[in-house]
Amino acid sequence: MGRTSSSSAARLQALLGLTDEELIRTLDASALELMGGELDHRPELQILLDLLCDAQERASPAVLARWVRASGRHGRPVDLLTGRDFARFEAAVEDLAERGFVLRAR
């Protein structure tokens, strides 16, 4: 499908290493909106970027992309995003800010 030309959506996608499908589900958008770069009007987009601002200062995009797919206390952050459970995603981001990125062996 190709990357979106929407600068904010592209920033979120790159920051978390989201696929096009994950970005579409997170923003409750259509593939046409993604291809047309028409996602900046989504209110959750700026909220998510603001929420991740502190995390971005503390961790590299590579770490955030790994974190978003790791299971944590609140589940996998990518699942919270694509399920549009933004309250639990915010809690996961707060845990990241407080505890850092913790990997557990199973």
Render pLDDT for 68-86 as a digit per residue (tens, 0 to 9).
Answer: 999 988 999 999 999 999 9
Task: Kindly state whether residue 60 falls inside one of the protein's structural domains.
Answer: yes
pLDDT tens for each residue of 9-46: 999 999 999 999 999 999 998 888 888 877 888 889 99
Task: Kindly state whether residue 104 falls inside one of the protein's structural domains.
Answer: no
CA 17/CA 73 separation, integer angstroms: 21
- Give pLDDT, residue 36: 80
Reported pTM: 0.83
Task: Kindly state whether residue 32 falls inside one of the protein's structural domains.
Answer: yes
- 75 strand-pairing partners: 72
Task: Kindly state whether residue 105 falls inside one of the protein's structural domains.
Answer: no
- Give pLDDT, residue 4: 46
Task: Kindly state whether residue 16 falls inside one of the protein's structural domains.
Answer: yes
CA 31/CA 24 separation, integer angstroms: 7
Task: Kindly state whether residue 2 falls inside one of the protein's structural domains.
Answer: no
Task: Kindly state whether residue 106 falls inside one of the protein's structural domains.
Answer: no
> What band does 98 get if pLDDT is binned at 50, 70 and 90?
confident
The range of the structural domain enclosing residue 75 comes to 7-99
Number of domains, the chain: 1
- Side chain identity at 36, as an amino acid letter? G
> What band does 104 get if pLDDT is binned at 50, 70 and 90?
low
